[in-house]
A and B are shown apart, each in its own frame.
Chain A
């Protein structure tokens, strides 16, 4: 069981993702943009983060590098749509560890969690 932060501006996405994670026994925190994500990360110290790429206020890539500044060990996986390959690469450069393509397959999300936090 782990504490996981889901960052996405689309409520529907957060809902689906959090439902899946809760069903699998995880604690879920949500944030709807990069700025809020940084606040939540500071406050809650989650075990890992699922981060959308494009969001208002602060995008996912910036958020990744900001969070990494707070915690160089932060385990972040990007939630990305097809056609955002170069952005995902930027996120990885910024310190994201992995990614899941939306619409995601549940197994994929779970295996990513397993890989990042064991």
Chain B
């Protein structure tokens, strides 16, 4: 896109962040507007967001973005003036605009040019606009009005230029009674303009030939004393028509964004100063509340990393302290050291918590884009959806939030496309015509749960089993023995799709297995409850943060491994004789259920040979989804907070290991990837059954 306007990276970033904010605000409020088309405050928000976006885009010289937002602003201007009614085709087109704006924004941020074509949208928007005016706006004219010059402040409203008090209103009224029209004339200057005051003066000079200047901003005295900033605005009374005025002032050189506007007394923009003050106060208070500093994610990541290092050293100092106490019991220095190490520990803990909190974002940031998606998907599938969002304020670590969006989109689409029946079927079933979909987020223990529920047809386990047998994922015998819950979980099997026909909404079978992988990648878990004919519930359990987790430390062959506590169900001690062998797999019976065993020693040190040294054996019961497995370990070390360090950079992906952590004594412990190990067991078993 080739922007080189002396804009710094930092400034660009701020613009992009702002733009994203405005786009999200537009997204949210458009949906609201469609339901409540006459709500003035929603209209106001949309109008302002478009306006803000336009201002930024114009400053950066982003012409396409400026043009689109300008036209959007026009549309919402006439809508809020009641000259145009909100219809779904307008909302559709504006949504398309938002898509294009996003694409344009991406271009800016990646410094690419994907040649976003806005011509069609421009025509459509102009069409709506002219509909309101009852006239045809020629393309030519709009373009002229839109010549954007970089580095210039974009157009201002009449109310931003003049204080319209009762006296001014009276003057306008009088002009009207004398059969004169009142015009608002506004212009910026091209960036190379060296004598703005003279240009402004020329403008006034030209106007004086065809009319009377009622008000000028800057005032004429200021123009004469060369006090002109970046615009000139005039309120003019004239018995000439708009075209004549435009022709006359066009002779003045070096003007930009020149426009002539009919002033209508009824116009909302002519709010009195009292109203304006009220509005200003409102914005003042909000700006006071929002005392924030923008910090890049990278900075936070490195802060988090540093805190991670501190946490490691804190543990280390503790351990050293206790060792020293044993060795030099009577040395008073040790007591001092212990005390100060305790303090360091406490401060580190607080620091960690604060940084974690600062990295937290309300999940509403992700949720906010879903109403639009739900609406579009529902329209495409011919479904009617009552979509409810709860718990937007629930906070999650930024990195988790980034990862959770795609899986949620997938689940929501599935719910609408496959879950919810079409309106006719629903009516026949005695259900409400609108399908109910709820997306909610809430705290549960030390985790966040995100739940997607629908009141659709639920998961058809028979169809799932049939499909799974067809695709040779399970055997017929196994299918018959399967519990309802196990059958539901077939949905996570790779390469399985339940929809009879592929639709462009939910796509093809690359579905829930990927969703589950993505969720597990961020140490989360997903579980499904479903009742045929009643609906489904998807529960996603997520850690508060990715960087530091609670883990259970265990010993295998004198080495320490860490198992994320999120997957640990319980730890038990059994006797060797309790172990049964089922089809060459070891298992125990735990409370009446078969619990397959997996010896971590066999997995990680296959050379050491099978067999258990002692009579008493420790088992860590872990689970993912509905699958439970017992890891056989040598001994338990204890629970601890660990800082996850990625290993891929150094040694690539290792099956069964998701990362490493540094322990208090400086040793490295590997973190066990529970999901991949459980999947391994399932894969092995399946391989044998065939």
Interface check B446, CB cutoff 8 A: no
Residues on A with C-beta less than 8 A from B205 are 92-93
Are A85 and B195 within 8 A (Cβ)?
Answer: yes
CB under 8 Å from chain A, chain B span 197-215? 197-198, 201-202, 205
Q: Which of B194, B202, B224, B251 touches A86 (beta carbons < 8 Å)?
A: B224
CB under 8 Å from chain A, chain B span 491-542? none
Interface check A88, CB cutoff 8 A: yes
Chain B minimum-CB-distance residue to A87? B198
Residues on B with C-beta less than 8 A from A86 are 197, 224-226
- Interface size band for B: 10 to 19
Interface check B253, CB cutoff 8 A: yes
Overall SS of chain A's interface: helix
Are B194 and A92 within 8 A (Cβ)?
Answer: no
Q: How far is the CA of A99 from the CA of B194 in the complex (A)?
A: 11
CB under 8 Å from chain B, chain A span 28-66? none
Q: How far is the CA of A93 from the CA of B251 in the complex (A)?
A: 16
CB under 8 Å from chain B, chain A span 88-103? 88-89, 92-93, 98-99, 101
Chain A minimum-CB-distance residue to B195? A85
Are B251 and A115 within 8 A (Cβ)?
Answer: yes
Residues on A with C-beta less than 8 A from B224 are 86, 89
Residues on A with C-beta less than 8 A from B226 are 85-86
Interface check A1, CB cutoff 8 A: no
Residues on B with C-beta less than 8 A from A89 are 197-198, 201, 223-224
Residues on A with C-beta less than 8 A from B223 are 89
Are A85 and B197 within 8 A (Cβ)?
Answer: yes
- Chain A contributes a number of interface residues (CB within 8 A of B) equal to 14
Are A99 and B198 within 8 A (Cβ)?
Answer: yes
Given contacts A86-B224, A86-B225, A101-B195, contact A92 B253 (CB under 8 A): no
Query: How many Cβ-Cβ contacts under 8 Å join chain A to chain B?
Result: 33
Are B195 and A92 within 8 A (Cβ)?
Answer: no
Q: Which of B198, B251, B253 touches A88 (beta carbons < 8 Å)?
A: B198
Min Cβ gap A58→B in Å is 22
Are A92 and B251 within 8 A (Cβ)?
Answer: no
Are B198 and A85 within 8 A (Cβ)?
Answer: yes
CB under 8 Å from chain A, chain B span 437-464? none
Min Cβ gap A78→B in Å is 9
Min Cβ gap B515→A in Å is 61
CB under 8 Å from chain B, chain A span 69-91? 80, 82, 85-86, 88-89
Min Cβ gap A110→B in Å is 13
Residues on B with C-beta less than 8 A from A92 are 198, 201-202, 205
Q: How far is the CA of A25 from the CA of B197 in the complex (A)?
A: 33
Residues on A with C-beta less than 8 A from B194 are 82, 101
Min Cβ gap B261→A in Å is 25
Min Cβ gap A41→B in Å is 22
Min Cβ gap A108→B in Å is 9
Min Cβ gap B557→A in Å is 82
Given contacts A88-B195, A88-B198, A92-B202, contact A115 B253 (CB under 8 A): yes
Q: How far is the CA of A100 from the CA of B198 in the complex (A)?
A: 11
Q: How far is the CA of A99 from the CA of B199 in the complex (A)?
A: 9
Q: How far is the CA of A93 from the CA of B202 in the complex (A)?
A: 9
Residues on B with C-beta less than 8 A from A88 are 195, 198
Min Cβ gap A74→B in Å is 16
Q: How far is the CA of A101 from the CA of B196 in the complex (A)?
A: 12
Q: How far is the CA of A89 from the CA of B221 in the complex (A)?
A: 12
Q: How far is the CA of A112 from the CA of B251 in the complex (A)?
A: 11
Residues on B with C-beta less than 8 A from A101 are 194-195
Residues on B with C-beta less than 8 A from A82 are 194-195
Residues on B with C-beta less than 8 A from A98 are 202, 253
Q: How far is the CA of A115 from the CA of B223 in the complex (A)?
A: 24
Residues on A with C-beta less than 8 A from B197 are 85-86, 89
Min Cβ gap B304→A in Å is 54
Q: Which of A80, A82, A99, A115 has the most CB of B within 10 A?
A: A99
Chain B, residues 568-594, CB within 8 Å of chain A (1/0): the string is 000000000000000000000000000
Min Cβ gap A111→B in Å is 8
Min Cβ gap A2→B in Å is 18
Chain A minimum-CB-distance residue to B251? A115
Q: How far is the CA of A83 from the CA of B3 in the complex (A)?
A: 32
Residues on B with C-beta less than 8 A from A115 are 251, 253
Q: How far is the CA of A89 from the CA of B224 in the complex (A)?
A: 7
Residues on B with C-beta less than 8 A from A85 are 195, 197-198, 226
Residues on A with C-beta less than 8 A from B198 are 85, 88-89, 92, 99
Q: How far is the CA of A112 from the CA of B253 in the complex (A)?
A: 9
CB under 8 Å from chain A, chain B span 220-257? 223-226, 251, 253
Chain B minimum-CB-distance residue to A88? B198
Min Cβ gap B421→A in Å is 69
Residues on A with C-beta less than 8 A from B201 are 89, 92
Q: Which of B197, B201, B205 has the most CB of A within 10 A?
A: B201
Q: Which of B194, B195, B201, B251 has the most CB of A within 10 A?
A: B195
Chain B minimum-CB-distance residue to A116? B251
Q: How far is the CA of A112 from the CA of B194 in the complex (A)?
A: 15
Min Cβ gap B202→A in Å is 6
Residues on B with C-beta less than 8 A from A112 are 253
Chain B minimum-CB-distance residue to A82? B194
Q: How far is the CA of A82 from the CA of B226 in the complex (A)?
A: 11
Q: How far is the CA of A98 from the CA of B252 in the complex (A)?
A: 8
Q: How far is the CA of A73 from the CA of B253 in the complex (A)?
A: 19
Chain B, residues 536-552, CB within 8 Å of chain A (1/0): the string is 00000000000000000
Min Cβ gap A44→B in Å is 26
Min Cβ gap A47→B in Å is 17
CB under 8 Å from chain A, chain B span 42-72? none
Min Cβ gap B626→A in Å is 77
- Of the A-B pairs whose beta carbons lie under 8 Å apart in the complex, a sample of 6, sorted by A's number, is A82-B194, A85-B226, A88-B198, A99-B198, A101-B194, A111-B253
Which A residues fall within an 8 A CB radius of B?
Answer: 80, 82, 85-86, 88-89, 92-93, 98-99, 101, 111-112, 115
Given contacts A86-B225, A99-B195, 19 further A-B contacts (CB under 8 A): A80-B195, A85-B197, A86-B197, A86-B226, A88-B198, A89-B197, A89-B198, A89-B201, A89-B223, A89-B224, A92-B198, A92-B205, A93-B205, A98-B202, A98-B253, A99-B198, A101-B195, A112-B253, A115-B253
Q: What are the 4 tightest A-B residue pairs by CB atom distance, in nearest-first order?
A: A89-B201, A85-B226, A101-B194, A85-B197
